[in-house]
Structure 1
């Protein structure tokens, strides 16, 4: 059986950043919802203020969201909302 390693794999940094941001926000959203918070209000509070206490520690959500820069979160949210790349 021949091993086909001749193909070059492309790495798309922007797509991976978008996917990572979406995955993290989804996990944080779910954790906030499970704890009985309004996830949208809590995430908006965090993005505006930078205060991590808007995000629960439950399931490591606070540590997860802090892996992202707030301006990058906002950038991805706006791109998604406006359907631009």
Structure 2
């Protein structure tokens, strides 16, 4: 799926959705079950507030990075792992 610049900026501020890819007979799905909000400077301590001020598309309305927590579902025919 292609994203426009506006869609991409909004997408980066939200929890991820389910995504799947078909690889031959196998289907792999990214299945999110939560999200965490992280302070950018805590995660990347070598950055500065000025760096993040120039990249607001990566931060939500509270100024945090949003990271999804998820698992992978692998389906191959009738087998699910």
Pairwise TM-score range, normalised by the shorter structure: under 0.3
Q: Which has the higher helix share?
A: 1
Higher RCO, 1 or 2 (CA under 8 Å, sep at least 6)? Answer: 2
Structure 2-normalised TM-score? 0.26
Q: Which has the higher strand share?
A: 2
Structure 1-normalised TM-score? 0.25
